[in-house]
Chain A
């Protein structure tokens, strides 16, 4: 998860909206309903609250492969809307996926954490 202690501002930018839409959308990952978690209330929602996260086990090996699979799904859906242009030239896709995997593997990872990683790694159109 992001190590930076500075709190990432959840706002109507491409990174936050993409994070929210991909996790909420019925045609994407459908992890919650917008009526239950509207956009403004979403940043501190944890992975443990999402539908994919297991509650019957804390086996970190299983959580790790689950988080990796979820991270790949998440990025695949984000890439349907945005070109994943690198914010930092030379950055490896594998490291980007691993950063997301850590959040998706963690009970305490949040939507804000995911949006921050997206924003740190992807150069969105609203940043040009």
Chain B
């Protein structure tokens, strides 16, 4: 469903791979190897050469803002610019999903500067899911979370994936987590992406 063809970004590539509907591909690799840049390119945030395909359309056939709604990137560090949480959810605060992450409906009224980094991380996940992307690019989505919240975030992401048949690309430094959530495992090092194997659930 989602395909990269001869992708080159700075020193990375050329690399080609594809992710199917409902599939989760994990990406591991040493720090500084360009995993984040790769995800940024997939969301068309970084100039690259090569071609990206979403279903039957290539990236240059879709206006960039629409592409990013469908191929959504959740960065490792979340950013906030309005005063309150609710202002960042123009379509209304998703109370049910928030409940899964242990955040009550009262959080919507909170001011941003009161939030902990873990709360911000969980809220940014809720925010990106509101776009209901076809492909979700996750850059260490649980890095700032305690084990319990991390598990809750995994559950929310996997539920979304099942319901929407979305494709996932998941960067993590935690091999156990990747084994838990992914079907396919890739390793990025020295600019090359290699298939490490399949995970049987």
Do A and B interact?
A: no
Q: Could you list which residues of chain B lie within 8 angstroms of chain A, going by C-beta atoms?
A: none
Q: Could you list which residues of chain A lie within 8 angstroms of chain B, going by C-beta atoms?
A: none
